[in-house]
């Protein structure tokens, strides 16, 4: 992807998030996939709407430029519900360190297309939303940024990466049983933490 493509994706994300009442806590744009940490408003299905619009607009842009047709990304987007108390910061770290794991940069601050700068520096993306989990890291923007940098600099447990990646692959709930039961009541749907066949 070119810088202009990443910028176009973010511009559309900002426009649609405001329109659909979705809060965006974190992101990382990679060449062949995107990570978003989002919270829907009253309509959970707006997440699907957001992803459909972003994919359609990006596909049209690239297809027009490269005189091609077809989709940019294969298959439906993968989603995992996050237990905010226990796992949200771990998900922030997982997303923000994606360019480091992909060996694109040695330090996440060097990658311009992720939310790391906003989390690690009080002067970041002014459009990015702050979760209560993040604001609880400190009383001021500087305190929160310092605490987040410290949190990210601690080596991530390989099991944590496997856990989050596995949850995403299986579209499962990242969290505990109690959290899952609350979500099931709220959504009226049964949410399995086990891998289900397609």
Q: What is the pLDDT of residues 5-37, one digit of tens each?
A: 889 989 999 999 999 999 999 999 988 788 899
* pTM for this entry: 0.75
pLDDT tens figures, 49-106: 898 888 888 777 776 666 665 554 444 566 677 765 557 888 898 899 999 988 899 8
Q: Phi and psi (nearest 5°) for 43?
A: -105, 100
Which burial class, exposed, middle or buried, applies to 37 when counting CB atoms under 10 A from its CB (0-12, 13-18, 19+)? buried
pLDDT tens figures, 178-191: 555 654 565 455 54
1-6 contact pairs (CB < 8 A, 24+): 1/29, 1/31, 3/112, 5/58, 5/61, 5/62, 6/112, 6/113
What are the structure tokens assigned to 102, written together? 């992909």
Question: What is the model's pLDDT at position 190?
Answer: 57
- CA geometry: angle at 92 spanning 91 and 97, to 5°? 100
Dist. CA 101–CA 97, nearest whole Å: 6
Question: What is the model's pLDDT at position 115?
Answer: 96
Where does the pLDDT of residue 128 fall: very low under 50, low under 70, confident under 90, or very high at 90 and above?
A: very high
Question: What is the model's pLDDT at position 153?
Answer: 86
Tell me the torsion sign for CA atoms 19, 20, 23, 29.
negative
Dmax of the chain from CA atoms?
Answer: 51
What are the structure tokens assigned to 169, written together? 């692959």
Other CB atoms within 10 A of residue 69 CB:
7
Dist. CA 83–CA 176, nearest whole Å: 7
């Amino acid at each position: 992807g070119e810088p202009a493509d990443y910028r176009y994706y973010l511009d559309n994300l900002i426009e649609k998030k405001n329109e659909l009442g979705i809060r965006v806590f974190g992101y990382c744009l990679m060449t062949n996939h995107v990570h978003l940490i989002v919270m829907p408003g009253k309509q959970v299905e707006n997440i699907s709407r957001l992803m459909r619009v972003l994919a359609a607009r990006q596909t049209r842009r690239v297809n027009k430029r490269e005189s091609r047709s077809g989709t940019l990304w294969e298959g439906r987007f993968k989603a995992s519900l996050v237990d905010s108390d226990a796992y949200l910061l771990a998900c922030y770290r997982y997303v923000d360190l994606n360019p480091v794991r992909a060996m694109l940069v040695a330090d996440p601050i060097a990658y311009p297309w992720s939310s790391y700068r906003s989390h690690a520096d009080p002067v970041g993306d002014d459009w990015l939303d702050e979760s209560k989990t993040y604001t609880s890291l400190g009383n001021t923007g500087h305190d929160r940024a310092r605490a987040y940098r410290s949190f990210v600099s601690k080596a991530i447990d390989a099991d944590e990466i496997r856990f989050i990646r596995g949850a995403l692959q299986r579209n499962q709930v990242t969290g505990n049983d109690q959290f899952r039961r609350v979500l099931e009541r709220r959504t009226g749907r049964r949410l399995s933490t086990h891998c289900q066949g397609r």
